[in-house]
Every structure is written in C-alpha cells, then in structure tokens.
C-alpha cells in the first residue's frame, strides 16, 4: 500500500515530552518517509537557578535526541521552563504561528490540555490556535498525546479525562523509543517513578492490549480532515 508523504510537527512543552507521549509514532513517521519536525517550547535558564553545566548537558541531549529521531527540523522557542503561564498567550501563539507557517504541517501532535503541568495547557492552547483551517490550510489532523507523570496526575474532576480514540502500533519501534528516553538520564528514574522504563513499557503494553497489538501509543484525535 502506498503512503503519501506527510509533514509532521510535534509540539513539546519540555524536552522528553515528545518521546514519552509519541516517540514511537514519530519514529514510525520517519520510517514511513514522513518529514518530522520538533517544536520545543522551553529551555533551562541560569536566572532560574540552573547551573551552566546542566544547561549545556540539556542542550547536548536535545541535539542527540533530534539526531536519533532523524528530525527534519528542530525549532527551539526558548521560553523559560515552568514559566509559560507568565508569557502572554499572544506571544506564544505568534511564535507557534511562525513555525507552522514555515513548516506547513499536515499533522500536529500536542500535549493534553488538562495535564497536571500548567506549561502543557499553555502549549495546547497556543498550538490549537494555529490549527484553524482558514488560516493554516495545511493542517489536516490534530492529535493530543499522553505524558507519563503529567496526564495521569491531572486531578481535575470538573474537566474531561484523557479518553484515547486513536491508537498507533509502535511495537517495531518500542526499543528505539526506550533508547532515546535513556538519553534523558536526569529525567528518567527507577520504578515506581512514573518516568521509568518499566512504566513506559507498561503503558505501551496496556495501550497495545486496547488496540489488539503488542505495544501502542494512544491519542485523542481532535481533528481529521480528508482532503
């Protein structure tokens, strides 16, 4: 079966969100010949108390992760981590709009709106604003991913919980996803820490069982246009 090449843009509030949430799907996109871009919103800054060597290490991690995926482009917005709620929404939307207008993606991946971390909500809103068909006609599909340590801890009983309705078989790319996550040594931990290899595997198996495959990633399909 032929595969029409797609342009994919994955929005991540922080480095590692892209890999936890949709690393397998991104690897599959690349393997199938799609052009995949990474939109990373935040960075560590010295004024926040991060030492220079930690900032340099994170920069090296981002470089290695981008190479491991084979991204066509890595777009660093440079906002301070954990402080997106202090950035005007118009500024965030403007930054995303410039990238979306440049890349012209067909598929957008974004974090779930009601994750525990406020940065995730801000990213969702900014990216969602740049999915309007009359302004960004290239966008055909929008998917929200789940992030271990964030989605399952979003205790908002008045809001909808993550309800996946789109599953991607990632079994052939599961080990590669884990290998990339190992690059983020400071972000991963030992089980039962939620960002552990055991939890990543457990989630992949659970979502796989829901889809009738050995391992899967789950998404909420928010928009799907068939041109």
pLDDT tens readout for residues 159-207? 678 999 999 999 999 999 999 999 998 889 899 999 999 999 999 999 9
User: Pairing relation of β-strands 216-224 and 166-169?
Assistant: antiparallel
Within-domain flag for 14: yes
19: containing domain: 7-221
Which helix (H) or strand (E) is 95 found in, with range?
helix 89-103
Q: Bin 170: left if φ > 0, else alpha if -120 < ψ < 50, else beta.
A: alpha
Q: What pLDDT is recorded for position 3?
A: 80
Within-domain flag for 200: yes
Within-domain flag for 150: yes
Residue 64 has pLDDT above 70, yes or no: yes
Within-domain flag for 161: yes
Within-domain flag for 1: no
For residue 87, the domain's CATH number is 3.40.50.10320
Domain count, the chain: 1
Within-domain flag for 208: yes
């Amino acid at each position: 079966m032929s595969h029409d090449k797609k342009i994919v843009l994955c929005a991540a509030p922080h480095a590692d969100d892209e890999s936890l949430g949709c690393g397998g799907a991104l690897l599959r996109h690349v393997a199938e010949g799609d052009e995949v871009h990474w939109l990373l919103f935040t960075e560590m800054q010295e004024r926040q108390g991060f030492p220079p060597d930690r900032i340099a290490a994170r920069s090296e991690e981002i470089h290695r992760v981008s190479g491991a995926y084979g991204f066509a482009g890595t777009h660093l917005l440079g906002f301070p981590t954990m402080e997106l709620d202090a950035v005007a929404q118009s500024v965030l939307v403007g930054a995303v709009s410039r990238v979306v207008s440049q890349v012209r993606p067909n598929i957008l991946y974004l974090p779930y709106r009601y994750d525990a971390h406020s940065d995730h909500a801000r990213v969702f809103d900014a990216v969602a604003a740049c999915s309007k068909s009359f302004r960004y006609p290239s966008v055909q599909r929008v998917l929200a991913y789940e992030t271990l340590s964030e989605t399952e801890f979003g205790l908002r009983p008045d809001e909808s919980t993550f309800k996946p309705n789109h599953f991607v078989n990632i079994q052939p790319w599961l080990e590669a996803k884990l290998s990339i996550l190992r690059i983020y040594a400071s972000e991963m931990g030992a089980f039962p820490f939620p960002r552990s290899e055991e939890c990543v595997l457990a989630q992949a198996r659970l979502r796989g069982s829901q889809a009738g495959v050995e391992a899967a990633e789950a998404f909420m399909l928010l928009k799907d246009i068939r041109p």
